[in-house]
Chains A and B, each alone.
Chain A
Amino acid sequence: MIFEEVKYRYKYCLWIVLFGFILSNKISFAEENILQTRINSSNIGDTIRVKGGLYIGNLIVNKRLVLISDENAVIRGSGSESIITILADSCVLQGFQIEHSGRMLVNEDAGILIKSSFNKIINNELHDILFGIYLLHSQHNLIENNKIIGRRFLDVGQRGSGIHLWNSHWNTISQNEITDTRDGMYIQNANNTTITFNRVYKVRYGLHYMYADSNYFYGNSFTDNMAGAAIMYARNITFRKNIFLRNRSFSSFGVLIQDCHNSTADSNLIIDNRIGIFFEASTNNFFKHNLIMKNDAAIQIFQNSINNTFTENNFIDNLSPIQIIGKTTSSNWNLKNVGNYWDDYGGYDLDLNGTGDVGFKIQNVFDYLESNYPLTRLYLYSPAAQALSISASIFPVIEINKEFDNYPLMQPISTRSIAEYFNLIKSPKNNLSSLLIIFFSYIFFITIYIKVSRKNLFPTSSG
């Protein structure tokens, strides 16, 4: 394969040289060779410092090297296959701009293709690439602080992933920014990955996740994607302090959990998604201290999801609290007599122990109807829907299901520190000024109203 590549490169160079002669002696395309030549002529363990400028052509790093550009050198790929391929262990690639990869989805043409271990990919910016950083059978790599911008003009299905892990374990992905790719991070058969402080926006799935166990997510943000995170066929995943914001389309969700077991979600913000959390065939998962707010439906859960536990979560301002596909689930809505905060809960706490004295029935009749007959959701917030719910709560003739939180919290759990981290807190000064604006505009309009209504029907010009 390498032989083929060299042959191809040779042919390419010949053309370039010919053109160079014909056009001008000043434009030198010889740079293209320089970088690969420097790599080829360097010794194992050398550090190559690359000056700023444009370097054309794909690179193959086949020995342990440190490649650093303090001046953000541009490496422009040939437009076919991956731009930089790292074959040796313990390489460092830092400070480059990498652009113009191949466009073959089947060949998985990437900006950086890693087939070795213990490498560090730091502070690079990748754009005009199909896949961003591709890890193939590679362990213990560090991918940090890179910016990956996909090809926006392509259909989302025609793009590649931002960071793609396949059969790679013990990697760390941190502080990267990914946008305009198909999936932000695609992780398959990759255990013990640490994913922290990445920002993924405007992609299909922020995180797409298959057959990978014992991974740790912390401080990532997934915003404006078609879906936040899709976790499938996984065990022992830990999520902490991530945000899933504004992931909206017809069948979109903040977090999708399918066939996922024994995982923990703690202190995440799941806000303004079509469906906050989606569960299918997932068991023994544990949700604590999450803020689930302003989603069209907070939770959509299939009957086959068993023994998931929710405690000390805030459910605030969701249009529907829960949609159960099927009859009922065996979810635990409280743990050791501590439930969740539901803003719909209208009960009381006479013994002042912080939990309501009567249980909270999570689903009302209309929620039940719309989960089982999705078309009825068109009547969401219609007087008819409200009348149904009210009458069913006064005359509970039909037992819908047993989704009860017996220890609903009276006060929400504070999630302010996480919200502050993600810059979600509004400056408070707006409140007073808005109040004044409201007050004066109201008075203004009322005054106009009264003035106009008192005015003569026909203005008097002659007494």
Chain B
Amino acid sequence: MIEVKNLTKQYGKFFAVKNISFTVNEGEVFALLGPNGSGKTTTIKSIVGLNIPTSGKILINGVDISSDSTEAKKYLSYLPQRVVFPENLTAREIIRFYGKMRNISKDVADRALEEATFNGFSDKHISKFSGGMIQKLGLAVVAMANTPILILDEPSVSLDPHGVIRLREFIKEKKSEGKTILFSSHMLSEVEQLADRVAILVNGKLIMLESIENIKKSFETNKTFEELYLSLVEEI
């Protein structure tokens, strides 16, 4: 579903991402793992069409994002690292607005809002929302789009434990619906529990791309996943 070929992103002389290639298959949950500044966000932003890559090619469902981004973006919905909504809009206004962006009718948008259960806050301004409710709304926007691909950038960062649980449920649910999910994280536990395959990024380079099982299997003897990861990160 997502093909990343030789992706490079350069800021001046600094390489945020250098020559990365990977493929995310249909229906799998794919995790980008790495410490802060390893290039996870840059990679995701390039996939979503927010960043313009220095070189390389990204295909979403076979469509090149750089040549036909509008078409390519129809197949994915994206949740940024920190979701922010304009403070003086209501939840309903926001969800209907994003509905309009994808030609989704008001009724469908309203249903998505009901499913998210805001308990009477649906028509309140965002300024009155708690962090958890904003996350909920973000997830509702992403879910409403009903695209085959979901892309989440560090979704659990700055969430309280309830939020983390809600997120985990969300990903599991979407996986069961057959969606392709790509998310980034620096939290091993999250990756371990949710992902089918993992790509480990360090300093802008892809150093490992394996299924969770394979990784676990090859290092079963002496190391936990955590130890493995730390050793990999230190090596570089």
Contact = CB atoms under 8 A, between A and B. Distances in A.
A and B touch in the complex (CB under 8 A): yes
14 contacts: A456-B90, A456-B93, A457-B89, A457-B93, A457-B96, A457-B97, A458-B92, A458-B93, A458-B96, A458-B106, A460-B92, A461-B106, A462-B110, A463-B110
Interface of B: 89-90, 92-93, 96-97, 100, 106-107, 110
B106 A462 contact: yes
Interface in A414-463: 456-458, 460-463
Chain A facing B: main interface SS:
loop
A429 B116 CA distance: 63
Q: Which 8 pairs from chain A and chain B are nearest by CB? A: A457-B93, A458-B96, A462-B107, A462-B110, A458-B93, A458-B106, A456-B93, A457-B89
Nearest to A456: B93
Nearest to A454: B88
Contacts of B90: 456-457
Contacts of A458: 92-93, 96-97, 100, 106
A38 to B, nearest CB: 93
B202 to A, nearest CB: 44
Contacts of A462: 106-107, 110
Interface string A166-200: 00000000000000000000000000000000000
Nearest to B110: A462
Chain B facing A: main interface SS:
helix
Contacts of A457: 89-90, 93, 96-97
Name, among B89, B100, B106, the residue most crowded by chain A CB atoms within 10 Å (CB to CB): B106
A463 B107 CA distance: 10
Nearest to A463: B110
Contacts of A463: 110
Contacts of A460: 92
Given A456-B92, A462-B106, 16 more contacts: A456-B90, A456-B93, A457-B89, A457-B90, A457-B96, A457-B97, A458-B92, A458-B93, A458-B96, A458-B97, A458-B100, A458-B106, A460-B92, A462-B107, A462-B110, A463-B110
Name, among A456, A457, A458, A463, the residue most crowded by chain B CB atoms within 10 Å (CB to CB): A458
Contacts of B92: 456, 458, 460
Interface in A386-428: none
